[in-house]
């Protein structure tokens, strides 16, 4: 038994859990307080759940509107609607709007509550079994030309040259996820470079468990393609967030979070090497998670995933030493952090040109641009982050975190 509880009352959610586990000891019960978690994504069909228990109302919201939306989604899980008055108008409307069952809050924990859930589960599992073998069900599991069981493809996310990225719904997780798919590419020794990159990215996401690093869920092979299942970020990446602009304080808060993700990454002995706005994902407008570790490098790693001497990364965000194919350390990621901070503050990249090689030249030779007069307090910090020589740069992510936080306190002091 798997239940999704859309109910703001923590006590009632607890009662639902107890009631479900009394009958099904291994039941999985997921809470979704609607007043804090917000609406369920429009693509979400609750395929990983036997039933959804939906409350009548909460501060700032009405369950009937949610019921109309959820019940109208083809293939959505049965919705059990909880009301205060089983004989009232809301209960009558809930039946009209498509509730599988309408119960009073007092029914939670009774045999009636259990019976309704059991019947909802029976109908749900039968419907899913029919759907999986249907033409629509088979088509829904196609990610490009690759069929991945256990996931329903919602849509492809534009972009990407080697890997394709999709939004999907996971039956196992009961949530939307991002799925990255790429063809297997074997070298002359039979090694699969695509799988090795995905394996590295998967390991980093699984092992670090850091609030500012994307979470990896599953790694696999299907139809001679490697796929990686990751946390999904409906708010997009830092590039999209930049379109709305940042206050100085907001930019510093984001930069601090990135520095803390780098601390965890560097402590684990790994360099990111491709820090850019597209690899910083948004958990809402003010929280971020670092992603895309396919080009990351283990500091003590003997075997490179990339060919020796190859310059890779994104020219606008590469340190001078990285852009010239020289040896790099954690200070190269610190330089990229400085580029991101400058872009958040000004809306522009510090070094631009139509010719990528000219951009690389500017990273090594052009002076650090001056911030606007209103942001002059941050210029010394920016100079230290973007120093041309690694030895003149902020030494590591811990020091960068401290320096950013000190400037943030000064900015807040001036604002106060």
Among 312, 333, 336, CA closest to 324: 312
What Cα–Cα distance (Å) separates residue 188 from each residue in 195, 305, 331, 347?
Answer: 15, 14, 34, 45
Please enumerate in sequence order all residues whose Cβ is within 8 A of that of 69, keeping only pairs 6 or more positions apart, or say none.
Answer: none
Contact 142, 217 (CB under 8 A): no
Three-state secondary-structure class, residue 178? strand
Residues 67/71/236/158 CA torsion (nearest 10 deg) = -160
Q: What tokens appear for 395 in the block?
A: 């030494």
Catalytic positions? 274
Torsion angle (degrees, nearest 10) of CA 45, 48, 50, 54: -50
Q: Which of 125, 130, 77 is nearest to 99 (CA)?
A: 77
Distance CA 324, CA 328 (A): 10
């Amino acid at each position: 038994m798997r239940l999704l509880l859309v109910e703001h009352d923590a006590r009632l959610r607890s009662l639902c859990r107890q009631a479900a586990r009394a009958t099904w000891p291994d039941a999985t019960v997921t809470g979704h307080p609607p007043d804090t978690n917000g609406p369920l994504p429009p693509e979400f069909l609750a395929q990983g759940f036997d039933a959804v228990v939906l409350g009548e109302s909460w501060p700032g919201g009405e369950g009937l509107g949610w019921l109309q939306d959820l019940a109208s989604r083809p293939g959505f899980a049965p919705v059990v609607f909880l009301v205060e008055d089983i004989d009232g108008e809301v209960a009558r409307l809930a039946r009209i709007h498509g509730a599988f069952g309408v119960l009073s809050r007092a029914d939670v924990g009774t045999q009636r509550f259990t019976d309704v859930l059991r019947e909802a589960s029976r109908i749900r599992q039968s419907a899913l079994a029919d759907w999986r073998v249907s033409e629509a069900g088979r088509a829904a599991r196609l990610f490009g030309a690759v069929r991945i069981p256990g996931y329903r493809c919602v849509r492809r996310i534009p972009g990407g040259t080697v890997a394709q990225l999709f939004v999907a719904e996971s039956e196992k997780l009961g949530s939307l996820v991002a799925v990255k798919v790429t063809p297997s590419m074997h070298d002359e020794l039979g090694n699969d470079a695509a799988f090795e990159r995905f394996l590295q990215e998967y390991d980093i996401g699984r092992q670090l468990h850091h609030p500012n690093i994307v979470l990896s869920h599953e790694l696999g092979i299907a139809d001679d393609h490697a796929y990686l299942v990751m946390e999904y970020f409906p708010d997009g990446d830092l590039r999209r967030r930049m379109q709305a602009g940042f206050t100085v304080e907001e930019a510093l808060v984001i930069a601090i979070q990135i520095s803390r993700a780098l601390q965890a990454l560097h402590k684990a002995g790994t360099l990111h090497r491709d820090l850019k706005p597209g690899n910083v994902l948004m958990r809402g407008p003010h929280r971020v998670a670092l992603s895309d570790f396919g080009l990351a490098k283990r500091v003590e790693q003997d075997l490179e995933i990339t060919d020796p001497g190859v310059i890779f990364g994104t020219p606008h965000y590469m340190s001078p030493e990285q852009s010239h194919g020289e040896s790099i350390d954690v200070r190269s990621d610190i330089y990229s952090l400085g580029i991101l901070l400058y872009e958040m503050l000004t809306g522009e990249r510090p070094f631009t040109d139509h010719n990528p090689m000219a951009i690389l030249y500017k990273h090594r030779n052009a002076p650090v641009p001056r911030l606007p007069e209103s942001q002059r307090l941050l210029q010394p910090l920016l100079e230290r982050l973007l120093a041309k020589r690694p030895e003149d740069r902020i030494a590591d992510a811990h020091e960068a975190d401290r320096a950013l936080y000190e400037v943030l306190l000064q900015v807040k002091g001036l604002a106060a």
